[in-house]
């Protein structure tokens, strides 16, 4: 099978997985799967064509990928897609020797280099990169994104039947790793799991803007590597339905609080050197940490101001995502601040934590660490 054929089959798989995951969620997602139902087949510009009602209704779906790890060039290329390709080539090159237990030293070194590269790419990514990648896919730096091609997609479908009810949509495949973030949705606090993306305010506004041009937006949420759809939303866009349809599926604006939102936190200018030790049944790797030195004062001030913002959002029943330091400050201080009138300011958080009995504060921090299983808190 050619590279193009593999890519097309992968696109169709993402579409089919998205429908399956959305259908299982019930409610608006399930209803929209039914509304979108029809015979889906691979097409060319757009990528997928759905035919329903005996051909009287046709929906063209254009697919593109959005990444958490991106390059900084004009094309905003996916680093995670390239990493996956390189890792697969490495696997194929060494799998026969691995089966025979005859891996050479360069194979162990090569695996270590891949590990170090993955660490660097994660260290050099930030939440804002996801919106940058989404913006490039939808609108493009020079207005050459997929939105600008919708008229061409419609004309292509009209060549099949100009009298058909033709509709258009996007299938947007997100690849993210936000496991260092905590999500507070007004009901519970959870760690963001691999492949989940609580939609940032910036990404939400881009999707809302794009909804003016299409009838459907399908969101497929996947881990950074691999093509398994962990979550999905099927959003109606016509007649101004985007925000309502999205909200019914839990797709709402989520502010991100803490360092690592707009710029990488712990950026690495170079890939770390790798050492390894091969034992009988195990290989131990030691990867050099080349991250920038943490500014403790900046981290502390950001944690306090982020905790104040978190408290104000929670009071208004608004969701938010927080870094570990912001979440810790918020959780430790929130009981002391619950009777504060008006907006909570950073000095209120600082006063609440600073004025707390030392043993009480230590106990709260220890309980927090045990609850989340985080020894670095």
> pLDDT by residue (tens digit) across 18-29?
999 999 999 999
How far CA 285 is from CA of 98, 103, 113, 168, 279, in Å, comes to 18, 16, 10, 49, 11
Tens of pLDDT, residues 217-248: 999 999 999 899 999 999 999 999 999 999 99
The structure tokens listed for 189 are 């606090």
**pLDDT at position 281:** 86
Average pLDDT over residues 156-179: 95
223: nearest Cα among 83, 24, 33 = 83
Per-residue 3-state assignment (H helix, E strand, C coil) for the chain: CCHHHHHHHHHHHHHHHHHHHHHHHCHHHHHHHHHHCCEEEECCCCCEEEEEHHHCEEEEEEEEEEECCECCCCCCCEHHHHHHHHHHHHHHHHHHHHHCCCCCHHHHHHHHHHHHHHHHHHHCCCCHHHHHHHHHHHCCCCCCCHHHHHHHHHHHHHCCCCCCEEEEEEEEEEEECCCCCEEECCCCEEECCCCCCCCEHHHHHHHHHHHCCCCEEEEEEEECCCCCCCEEEEEECHHHCHHHHHHCCCCCCECEECCCCCCCCCCECCCCCEEEEECCCCEEEEECCCECCCCHHHHHHHHHHHHHHHHHHHHCCCCEEECHHHHHHHHHHHHHHCCCCCCCCHHHHHHHHHCCCHHHHHHHHHHHHHHHCCCCC
Q: What is the mean pLDDT of residues 260-285?
A: 91
Distance CA 329, CA 319 (A): 17
Look at residue 374 and tell me whether its pLDDT is greater than 80. Answer: no
The C-alpha atoms of residue 236 and residue 60 are separated, in whole angstroms, by 14
The residues with which 283 forms a beta bridge, in sequence order, are: 278
Residues in the chain: 377
Under the banding of pLDDT at 50, 70 and 90, the label for residue 3 is low
Confidence tier at 203 by pLDDT (50, 70, 90): very high
- Which positions ≥6 away from 93 have C-beta within 8 Å? none
pLDDT range class, residue 121, cuts 50, 70, 90: very high
Residue 324 scores a pLDDT above 90 = yes
Question: Would the CA dihedral through 26, 131, 344, 322 be positive or negative?
Answer: positive
164 and 58 in contact (C-beta within 8 Å)?
Answer: yes
Residue 137 has pLDDT above 70, yes or no: yes
The tens digit of pLDDT for each residue in 40-57 reads: 999 999 999 999 988 899
């Amino acid at each position: 099978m050619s590279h193009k054929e593999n890519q097309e089959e992968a696109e169709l798989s993402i579409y089919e997985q998205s429908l399956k995951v959305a259908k299982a969620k019930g409610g608006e997602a399930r209803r929209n799967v039914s509304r979108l139902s029809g015979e889906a087949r691979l097409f060319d510009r757009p990528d997928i064509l759905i035919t329903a009602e005996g051909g009287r209704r046709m929906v063209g779906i254009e697919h593109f990928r959005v990444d958490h790890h991106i390059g900084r060039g004009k094309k905003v290329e996916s680093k995670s897609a390239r990493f996956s390709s390189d890792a697969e080539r490495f696997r194929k090159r060494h799998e026969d020797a691995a089966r025979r237990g005859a891996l050479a030293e360069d194979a162990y070194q090569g695996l270590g280099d891949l590990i170090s590269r993955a660490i660097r790419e994660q260290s050099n990514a930030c939440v804002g990169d996801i919106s940058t990648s989404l913006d490039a896919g939808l609108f493009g730096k020079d207005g050459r994104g997929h939105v600008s091609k919708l008229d061409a997609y419609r004309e292509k479908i009209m060549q099949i039947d100009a009298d058909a009810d033709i509709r258009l949509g996007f299938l947007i495949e997100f690849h993210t790793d936000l496991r260092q973030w905590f999500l507070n949705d007004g009901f519970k606090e959870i760690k963001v799991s691999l492949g989940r993306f609580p939609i940032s305010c910036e990404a939400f506004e881009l999707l809302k803007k794009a909804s003016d041009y299409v009838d459907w937006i399908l969101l497929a949420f996947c881990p950074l590597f691999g093509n398994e759809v962990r979550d999905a939303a099927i959003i109606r866009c016509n007649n101004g339905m985007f925000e309502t349809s999205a909200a019914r599926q839990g797709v709402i604006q989520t502010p991100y609080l803490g360092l690592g939102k707009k710029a990488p936190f712990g950026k690495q200018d170079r890939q770390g050197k790798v050492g390894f030790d091969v034992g009988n049944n195990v290989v131990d790797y030691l990867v050099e940490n080349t991250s920038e030195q943490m500014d403790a004062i900046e981290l502390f001030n950001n944690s306090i101001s982020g905790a104040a913002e978190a408290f104000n959002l929670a009071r208004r029943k608004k969701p938010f995502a927080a870094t570990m330091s912001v979440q810790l400050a918020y959780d430790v201080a929130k009981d002391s601040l619950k009777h504060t009138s008006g907006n909570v300011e950073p000095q209120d958080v600082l006063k609440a934590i600073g004025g707390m009995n030392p043993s009480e504060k230590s106990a709260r921090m220890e309980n927090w660490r045990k609850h989340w299983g985080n020894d670095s808190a």
